[in-house]
Structure 1
Amino acid sequence: MSASDSPIKEPSKDSDALDDEGQEEGRAGGDLQVEAGGWGTAPSHLPFAPSSDSFDTTTVDPSYIISLIRMLLPNQESTWKKSDSITSSLCPVEESMVHTMDASMVGEFNCIKKSMSIEADSNPGWHSILNGGCEGFMDHHFVGMRLDHGEAGRTTGSDDLETGAIVMEKAWEDAGCILWDLSAIRTHAEFMVNNFLLDVLLASLHASKSPRITEICLGILGNLACHDVSNDAMVSKDGLIETIIYQLFQNDCTCLFETFRLLTSSLQGRRSAIWAKAILFEEACERIIWIAENTLNTMLLEKCVDFLLTVINSKEAANILLQPLIKFGLMNLVVNLLACELSNLEDKLVAERTCIIDQILCLVEALSTLDYNMEKVFAREELYQLICRVIKLPEKFEFTCSRVSAVVIIANLLVDGQHFASQLSQDYEFIEALLDTIPLVSDDSQARDAIWCILSGLLPRIPEHDISSLSLNLLASIFVEKSNLIEEDLKSHSSEVEPPNGNNTSPIVTTLWRIACVVEEWLAQKLERTADGAPCGGNGEDKAERLLQLCKKFCYLM
């Protein structure tokens, strides 16, 4: 599992609930304390936690967690209705999601409460939670809940009742945010799952009319998906995966962000095949591509691309989902996203967009390494041109990663795209930009090898004798101007030079020999013009002679 998809704490302002409210005495039957090594020094009469337990457990009263879970239970009498923001037209299978709670779900709630009561018999400390002040909240939960921050909710006939419903919604949100934070810890996540949190979250997702409540539920589930035990429980919970997949048809960006984070974490776990098969239906695949191509939210776009990259990098997920995603327009998506982001860079939105370009290029790079008829998938010349544009980006620090990734992609694509190599060999601006990239890849063996492989594939395609004087002068000038970069790279990797071999056809030898031929031909023409009375080139010729000797030296050494 990558670091980016490790459990996260709730990102909004309400994530401070642990700091501000969790320390209040007796809140919901428990209080939050911090171990040694946290925010302060432990009282002298309490021992410090063993070093092995530090940062792994916290002294959160289990009864407090139970009380928070109970606060998330939706009201049994509420009307269960999917949010209007769901685009039902994109999922015609689910034409109507408006129905009242059926008897089986009521029975499930009663079963949850009964099970909690049984647990309370063995732990008297829970009686105050099960029989305390939570019931008042439960009676009003989801009654009068607003659809959004600007639209009044269902009228109750009483301003006091409406105000009370808003207060209760805020209480639900606070409880959910605390659980969101606590679920990032494995031991807490397992405890929550063992105490019916999945049942409660599933019920809340069905009942929710508020994007904020849906976001919190998905955020908690996203953290649970990062832990193997709780992820296993999620897979085993009937209807939960299907409900999560259906959240892809939300229109709220925060809900979609948490949905993609959840799915990304799940595809990185040991149950990735089950999650991938759950996504494997036409509407979901089309919706994923549509969201990535049409969202204007930068964070959501990054998470969409991260999800697609996870699909490719996970062998099990790729076997199941890659072909359908390509069928529904993955390659068109990649081309369109890259073109759009490069246009944004031209509008000088550099700082905001470089990270997205890096992710898109990582996606293209991952695709270019697959054995999946990539010569057909990447047959579009537009993609080649876009990658070349990335290599030609200005020499700025922000573009370093993008240009390095583009080099590796071009090297991969040229393996199956020799027809494009002829075009690139005539693009001297591209060759110059490629040489400018050499210092950027000095410490990256893969990217460095890619540069020399590209050059060894392009330069031999340039005719030795039929080249025009103008083209020869331009190409030789590029080599001479970049000779310092070539020399520094060769000397910094001199320890990697292989013993002399008459049959050595390594990319570096092939490239250096072709550079030597071009420079030698250029010097010969200069000498002829000098003999005819043309002025001498001076310093340029000296640098050319030095480059020529350098190339010959390393060709004979390698």
Structure 2
Amino acid sequence: MSIKHELVTQQEEEEDDELQIEQPAQNPPAPADELFDISTTVDPSYVISLIRKLLPPTMNPTSASLLSQTNGINKCETTDDNNDDEEKHVGPLVGDDAWEEHGCVLWDLATSRTHAELMVQNLVLDVILATLMVTQSPRVKEISLGIIGNLACHEVSRKEIASVKGLVEVVVDQLFVDDTPCLCEEFRLLTLCLRKNEGIIWAQALQTENILSRIVWVVENTLNPQLIEKSVGFLLTVSQSQEEVRDMLLPQLVKLGIPVILVNLLAFEISKLEGDERMPERYPVLDTILQAIESLTVIDGCSQEFCSNKKLLFQLGTLIKLNDKVEVATSCVTAAVLIANLLSDSDSLILEINQDLLFLQGLLDIFPFASDDLAARNALWDIISRLLAHIQDNEMSRSDLHQYISIFASKSDLIEEELLDHQLADSNKDQDTATASGRNLNIRTAALKRIDFIVSQWLALKDQNSPTKLTQEFVVNDRDLNRLKDCCRKYINNIGSS
């Protein structure tokens, strides 16, 4: 399906998404990493025969001759009869059903490191290069890129991909194919190759303005969830690549408007969460967009682009304040880390959210989802500490004070559990790690002191007024408050004595 057909109305967008979701899987999943291998009994001669069947009629005669020679087959200990039979299949028309069938088998077999290395040794990369140079079939291009993508999951074959003359450039040219499945495989392949040692070779092929503009155009205009995830995942990889690769690609991508585009994509995905019917297939898209933005906010030259975007903070706040976070818990944790990054770069941003009590409540709700992520928990405490530091004690009305107290009382169990988890983690740290976390302890302690102060202020107010009258006007569970106060003070005293 062409991207061109995905760009018009909301109705067309929903129809397009439905079409994409309903399509049966046409290809095998990529291996998780280069250590992935599949135990198989497939005869190597069968693999080589499949490569022969992909030979395009226009392939370089020298390469075709090398592939047709029996010396490669003899290594597999096959018979001459088998060789004669294989010769009959050399040079089918590219794009016919037989080519697609044989190509999909190789696509699957390439998940095995053993088969991948055998395929590379027997010129599969030369065959695919020749195919990509002549075919007009989007399906053939998709299969070809899929095969290379699975080969790129293995170190030895990935290095060979970068060494085949002209292959990198031809692969990069496939960015201009207006076909969604083809572009999904393209971005998967580029992502795999860019994050490894050969990344500099690929970055050099990608760095022209024409190519980077095309990448930005695809990210901005496609409505297909899988293609959004793959293309934004590519941007995430760029931001996390070695410095030389980042310097080649990132400044121009920022100049072309990637920060604004990512924020707009985030707003679109969050609008889907707020709808009547959530779409689970879009959750990975949301998470990838958030990861990409988070990664960019810690890079010099990119962070200011996001700090100055108030729309980003609003969208992150919307996500934090969702009542039902379970299905998007990972995204909520990432959003909290991202907000902490933004606040550390621009103190003035806290004024946009310092009186948003639903936001504070949403932050506390995220603690259980971040139980295994110390950095995320520290980020949550950092935001809470900044929020509470801006509360003006002398300007807080009885009603405002009650709202804070209600939140703390209702979330007292979460706060207590988080502090217990943190104390347990601290007891298992070595001295160097404990020293490095000193700033985070100060942030957490500052937040707990503010919570303790607010709770104590409420209890003092209750003592100064008629208990019955105050209780009737503002309902709060005193038992939860007293337990929370004791928990905060115990933690603060333990930190002070350590």
Deviations 1:349-372 (A, max 9, x none): 242322211111111222223333
Counterpart CA distance in 2 for 1:481 and 1:232 is 56
State yes or no: 1:410 paired with 2:339.
Answer: yes
Q: How far off its partner does 1:129 sit?
A: 6.3
1:68-217 → structure 2 map (5 Å cutoff) = 68-76=50-58, 109-116=60-67, 118-120=69-71, 123=74, 132=85, 134-135=87-88, 138=91, 141-142=93-94, 169-217=96-144
TM-score using structure 2 length: 0.82
Contact 1:63 / 1:126 at 8 angstroms: preserved in 2? no
CA change 1:493–1:288 in 2 (3 A) is same
- Residue type at the aligned position of 2:298: T
Contact 1:120 / 1:127 at 8 angstroms: preserved in 2? no
What is aligned with 1:275?
A: 202
Contact 1:350 / 1:398 at 8 angstroms: preserved in 2? no
Gaps of 5+ in 2: 1-23, 29-35, 428-433
What is the SS of the residue equivalent to 2:394?
Answer: coil
Count of residue correspondences: 450
Q: How far off its partner does 1:136 sit?
A: 6.8
1:387-402 → structure 2 map (5 Å cutoff) = 387-402=316-331
Residue number among 221, 230, 251 corresponding to 1:323 in the alignment: 251
Which stretch has the larger CA shift, 465-474 or 275-284?
465-474
Q: How far off its partner does 1:118 sit?
A: 4.8
Counterpart CA distance in 1 for 2:81 and 2:323 is 66
What is the SS of the residue equivalent to 2:416?
Answer: helix
State yes or no: 1:340 paired with 2:276.
Answer: no
Counterpart CA distance in 1 for 2:340 and 2:392 is 22
Contact 1:228 / 1:270 at 8 angstroms: preserved in 2? no
- Residue type at the aligned position of 2:253: L
Q: How far off its partner does 1:122 sit?
A: 8.7
Counterpart CA distance in 2 for 1:455 and 1:550 is 17
Deviations 1:99-151 (A, max 9, x none): xxxxxxxxx6221233245544994957656655755763x614xx6xxxxxx
Q: How far off its partner does 1:507 sit?
A: 1.5
State yes or no: 1:422 paired with 2:422.
Answer: no
- Residue type at the aligned position of 2:63: I
State yes or no: 1:311 paired with 2:238.
Answer: yes
Residue number among 399, 416, 419 corresponding to 1:490 in the alignment: 419
Q: How far off its partner does 1:254 sit?
A: 1.2
1:423-438 → structure 2 map (5 Å cutoff) = 423-438=352-367
- Residue type at the aligned position of 2:60: F
What is the SS of the residue equivalent to 1:506?
Answer: helix
Q: How far off its partner does 1:340 sit?
A: 0.3
Counterpart CA distance in 1 for 2:135 and 2:469 is 88
CA change 1:532–1:63 in 2 (3 A) is closer
1:211-360 → structure 2 map (5 Å cutoff) = 211-315=138-242, 316-347=244-275, 348-360=277-289
What is the SS of the residue equivalent to 2:361?
Answer: helix
Counterpart CA distance in 1 for 2:25 and 2:413 is 51
State yes or no: 1:460 paired with 2:385.
Answer: no
- Residue type at the aligned position of 2:213: E
Counterpart CA distance in 2 for 1:504 and 1:320 is 35
Counterpart CA distance in 2 for 1:344 and 1:436 is 21
Gaps of 5+ in 1: 1-10, 16-53, 77-107, 146-168
What is aligned with 1:157?
A: none
* Structure with greater proportional helix content: 2
What is aligned with 1:547?
A: 484
What is aligned with 2:47?
A: 65
- Residue type at the aligned position of 1:354: Y
Q: How far off its partner does 1:335 sit?
A: 0.3
Q: How far off its partner does 1:70 sit?
A: 2.0
What is aligned with 1:37?
A: none
What is the SS of the residue equivalent to 1:437?
Answer: helix
Which stretch has the larger CA shift, 300-309 or 529-538?
529-538
TM-score using structure 1 length: 0.74
Counterpart CA distance in 2 for 1:55 and 1:423 is 51
What is the SS of the residue equivalent to 1:511?
Answer: helix
Q: How far off its partner does 1:56 sit?
A: 6.1
Which stretch has the larger CA shift, 462-471 or 386-395?
462-471
Which stretch has the larger CA shift, 198-207 or 347-356?
347-356
Deviations 1:513-553 (A, max 9, x none): 11122222223333333189766668634443443343333
Which stretch has the larger CA shift, 398-407 or 314-323?
314-323
Contact 1:391 / 1:430 at 8 angstroms: preserved in 2? yes
Q: How far off its partner does 1:330 sit?
A: 1.4
Contact 1:391 / 1:407 at 8 angstroms: preserved in 2? yes
Q: How far off its partner does 1:481 sit?
A: 2.5
Residue number among 378, 389, 392 corresponding to 1:449 in the alignment: 378
- Residue type at the aligned position of 1:525: L
RMSD over aligned CA atoms reads 3.0
Contact 2:194 / 2:241 at 8 angstroms: preserved in 1? yes
CA change 1:545–1:283 in 2 (3 A) is same
